[in-house]
Amino acid sequence: MHSSRPHRRLKGQGGFTLGEVLATLAVIGVSLSLVVPSLDSLTRSNQRASAINELVATLHVARSEAITRNSPIVVCPSEDGLTCAHVAWETGWIRFVDSNGDYLPDAGETVLGATPPVPGLQIRTETFDTAFGYTPTGRVAAPDGRQGGGDFTFCANGNSTDAQVVSVSALGQPVLASRHADGREPDCSVT
């Protein structure tokens, strides 16, 4: 049997009009466009913080090992995690015992650790572009024989506005700063 009675709407039942749905989607779209850049900035900031922590930890461990082993320890950029290479620090780095002082991991010299590439960042240094070392006393040494401190600049995709600097003193202590030890602003365009 078929009822000829018209369908009644139940009280409280309702729907959205096409205009209401489109307006809601527009509000969501605008909100997302404001949030996504903030998330991108947060991601870059977290990547930079992780890379800084990784390099600082490597430097602390290398200094401690140099003193404990009474032997020079070198940290250098590396593409393969076994040898030093003339590449940017964000490619990754290794630390090793440098018994003969040539700033290269030779046969019989132990590679103590390797750090993988750091994506999305640039790590720049004028002083330690090829390597960084600690003497058995824990002091900093560079491949050119110069002893003294230097800086590492961490940049997110070449952006100087939120760059950070790790300054390493001649005594080997790394310190996080917003400027270089000599007071200069960090410049991420320097290669």
**pLDDT, tens only, 13-42:** 567 787 777 777 777 766 666 655 566 666
Mean pLDDT over the full length of the chain? 82
CATH number at residue 36: 3.55.40.10
Query: Which residues form the domain of 136?
Result: 18-70+118-177
Question: According to the model, what pLDDT value does residue 148 have?
Answer: 79
- Once rounded to an integer, what is the mean pLDDT over residues 138-167? 81
Contact (Cβ atoms closer than 8 angstroms) between residue 174 and residue 138? no
Query: Total structural domains in the chain?
Result: 1
Residue from 45, 84, 75 nearest 150 by CA: 75
Is 182 contained in some domain? no
Tokens of 104: 């290269």
Pairing of strands 111-115, 93-97: antiparallel
74: phi then psi, degrees, rounded to nearest 5: -120, 145
Contact (Cβ atoms closer than 8 angstroms) between residue 158 and residue 189? yes
Is 153 contained in some domain? yes
Is 23 contained in some domain? yes
Selected residue with higher pLDDT from 144 and 134: 134
